[in-house]
Structures are given as C-alpha cells and as structure tokens.
Amino acid sequence: MTLAEAKDGQHLIILETGSKEIMVQALRFGLDSGSRIVIEKNIRGGPVIVSKNQLEIAIGREIAEKIKVQSL
C-alpha cells in the first residue's frame, strides 16, 4: 500500500520511497526504508501527517502516493 492509502493511527514501516528525488526529500526528515512511522492524520485530498520520534511531518499527497509502506 502507499502512504496516501494509510488510515489515521496506523503504525507503518516504510518499504520504498520511490524516485531518487523523493528519497532525498524523505531523508531530510529522517524517513528512509525501514523507518517506523505513525499516521497522525490523513487529510482527504491534502497532506498526510506522520510522526516519527516525536516529530510531526506533513507529506504532500503527490509524494505520499509514491511512498510504499507496510502495516506493523
């Protein structure tokens, strides 16, 4: 599944970040393959807000659709 398909409150692990450009953006926030995250809020038609280590990050829908995740 993609990050854009995740539900509020889900605990996930990132499998793939997609293209090199997305990978670089994700790495700036400490998100890479193997990172464990929690979906704080998936705003319909808007960003997906995730948390990792007490840091909340808003990820745009277009990017969230390219990040593959798996439920924990």
Return the pLDDT at 62.
92
- Residue 43's pLDDT is 97
- Note the pLDDT of residue 55: 93
How confident is the model over 18-41, as pLDDT tens digits?
A: 889 988 988 888 899 999 999 999
Q: Do 17 and 28 contact (CB within 8 A), yes or no?
A: no
CATH number for the domain spanning 7: value is 2.30.30.90
Side-chain half-sphere exposure of 49, counting CA atoms within 13 A: 9
- The structure tokens listed for 72 are 């924990």
- Report the length, in residues, of the chain: 72
Query: For 45, which DSSP code?
Result: T
> Could you give the number of structural domains in the chain?
1
Please tell me the predicted confidence (pLDDT) of residue 12: 98
Share of the chain above pLDDT 90, in %: 78
Enclosing domain of residue 16: 3-71
Highest mean pLDDT among 4-8, 14-18, 30-34: 4-8
